[in-house]
Amino acid sequence: MTMRLKIAALALALSVATPAFSQEPPIIGAWRMTSLEAGAEGNLKPVPYSGQVIFTEAGTLSVQAQNPDPKAPDTPYTANGYEAYYGPVAINDQDKTFVITIESSLVRNLVGKSMKRKFEVSDNKLVLTPDNPAEGWRVTYERY
C-alpha cells in the first residue's frame, strides 16, 4: 500500500468517525453568577446572591448558589440561604430549554424531581429563567 493510499484511507476513516457538524451546545461549560432577580412576573428585583452553574459534555448539571445572609429563610430550593444540586441534564438547543433530573440536593425533597428551564446564550453571557414565568426569577451568568 502506498503512502498516499494509507493517508487517504486514514482521512476517510476519520471523516466517517466524526460527524460533519459535531458541535457542543453553547451552554456547555462553567458559568459564574452575576445577578439573580426574583419577584412577581414582570416585576423582578435584584437579590444578593453568588454562585455558579456547570453544564458538562457528559450530560450533567451542577448548581451552587448562596445568599450572603446565613439566616435567609428556606425556600423550595434552598436551606439556610444555600442552594446545591446536581444530576443528568437533557439540553434542547433548538428550543433553548433543558431538563435536569435531580440526583442529589441539599434540599432532599428535590431528589428525583425534574425541572425544565429556559436559557439564552450570547457571547459569554448565560440567562436562565423558569419554564413557568409564575415562578418569578431570572439568573444571569458569565462564562469562567
pLDDT digit string, tens, across residues 9-60: 545 554 444 444 557 899 999 999 999 999 988 899 999 999 999 999 999 9
CATH code reported for the domain at 26-143: 2.40.128.280
Amino acid at 137: W
Task: Give residue limits of the domains in the chain.
Answer: 26-143
Indicate the SS3 state at residue 80: coil
d(CA 76, CA 20): 43
Q: What global pTM score does this model have?
A: 0.82
Quick: pLDDT tens for 79-138. 999 999 999 999 999 999 999 999 999 999 999 999 999 999 999 999 999 999 999 999
Beta bridge partners of 47: 36
* CA 141 from centroid of its chain's CA atoms: 10
Separation of alpha carbons 143 and 73, rounded Å: 29
